[in-house]
Amino acid sequence: MIVARNLAFMLIFYGGSVPFVLLSPVAALFGQRAMLRYARGWFGFHGWATRVLLGIVTRVEGDPHLFEPVLYAVKHQSMYETIELSRLLKRPAIVMKQELAAIPVWGWAARRYGVIVVDREASASALRRMLREARVALEAGRSILIFPEGTRVRPGEQPPLKAGFAGLYQMLKLPVVPIALDSGRVWPRTGWKRPGVVTIRFGEPVPPGLPRKQAEGVVHAAINALELAG
């Protein structure tokens, strides 16, 4: 049954995503607002496919909209939360690694949506570019979403935060809402996806202006709260 669910998801979601991506330039002709609405249709399609085809549902703990605009700092275990949080939140501008933004057509559509591209080498020029793009998003009333550990990790792994998070926190002077989750239990990096419940927990906001080490320590503990609880 699990194999059949995965094959159905691959056929229907990935197959159905192709026309979404190919038609995105048409939506972009009508401006970013139209692009944002168009993207929400794809996010909703993903939510339907994961729920109906894979049997994966989301349990939200906390209020996702209480403190916007903010800097969301998110645990990253699978592709699931990237799309699901885009659906749950109000048009967040997601910090995305450069390799994904370089994918033909899809990368162009992501840029038109307003992702913030980051070079994982964390050079000074890359950080300045990331800050410029983040400020453009904030001027449009959008929150910023970053995966501060830098990449997907397996359940139980708790790597240190990357420097890009501290740069955004210190320069943007925004409160941080940490988000813990456990998607890796049902959506592993390798192997079949399994039915189950993904918990997404919005933590208490971390105020701006804290010393770097203190802010990193609080955020790191908060995004790993479900790991610590397990």
Quote the pLDDT of residue 107: 74
What is the pLDDT, as a whole number, of residue 229? 54
Q: What is the pLDDT of residue 200?
A: 96
Radius of gyration, alpha carbons of the chain: 17
Edge-first strand listing for the sheet containing 176-181: 56-61, 196-202, 176-181, 71-74, 144-146, 93-97, 116-118
pLDDT at 118: 78
Chunked into runs of 10 residues, the chain (230 residues) has average pLDDT values of 96 94 83 85 95 97 79 96 92 82 72 77 74 89 92 92 90 94 94 96 94 96 80
Q: pTM of the entire structure? A: 0.91
Locate all alpha helices (DSSP H) within the chain, ordered by sequence. Answer: 2-9, 15-28, 32-49, 79-88, 98-101, 106-113, 124-139, 163-172, 212-223, 225-229
Residue with tokens 């109000």: 90
What's the half-sphere exposure (Cβ side, CA atoms, 13 Å) at 78?
23
Residues 180, 203: contact at Cβ < 8 Å? yes
- Please give the CATH number for the structural domain made up of 56-229: 3.40.1130.10
